[in-house]
Chain A
Amino acid sequence: MENTIKVERAILNITQDDLAKRIGVSRQTINSIEANRYVPSTVLALKLSDVFNKPVNDFFKLSNDD
């Protein structure tokens, strides 16, 4: 799974900490998601979709090994 959360965050001009607070997780969790070390649950993906105001498919993409 690949994602463009870092880009979406830059568009909104918010830090990892801001995003973490908005969706109720720790900053380290956001960092792990951005680095593709952790694939979030559907609930968290939908919360991110809410913040970015975009469908989940726009910032999460399946990679070849998925």
Chain B
Amino acid sequence: MEMEKIIASERNRFYKLINFRLSYRFMRIGIAIVLLTIVMMFVRAFAMEGDTVWLKVLLQKFLLVGMLIMSLSKDKLEDEMTIILRTQSYAIALVVGVIYALVMPYVEFGVSNVMTSGGESFKNLGDFQVLLFMLMVQLMFYHNLKRYR
């Protein structure tokens, strides 16, 4: 009996975790963070001098956090269909993200060697590039799936 209670409690906590969503107002907060970060990225690239690598890394983190907030926030009217569409978009983003992470380094390597003799040495993608791509694919597919539903 005690064991059943523990299992039920764990199951409830697990479902709470997987059903976690931020409220709709967080969508605007996420968009604001993303836009502000992009503006700051341009400012850093074209208007700032000196060693600003730390700022670049910080802005990359802010961009990911902003997009994650957008991804996790609910719609104005959340129903079972939007939940299914969101689940589908996460599945697509995962698959496309893994393919991107596997294929893109070879594409970059090939292109750089074709364009310039010698080219760049082979290197894997960074976490920022992969995560940004996956979040972009998820948001794009979710909104497209909603549009064509």
Contacts and interface: CB of A to CB of B under 8 A. Distances in A.
Interface of A: 24-26, 28-29, 31-32, 37-38, 40-41, 43-44
B77 A40 contact: no
Interface of B: 77, 79-82, 146, 149
Nearest to A28: B149
B43 to A, nearest CB: 39
Contacts, number: 27
A51 to B, nearest CB: 15
B77 A38 contact: no
Chain B interface secondary structure, helix, strand, loop or mixed? helix
Question: Counting chain B CB atoms within 10 Å of each CB, which of A25, A26, A37, A43 scores highest?
Answer: A26
A25 B76 CA distance: 11
A25 B82 CA distance: 10
Contacts of A29: 79-82, 149
B149 A25 contact: no
Contacts of A24: 79
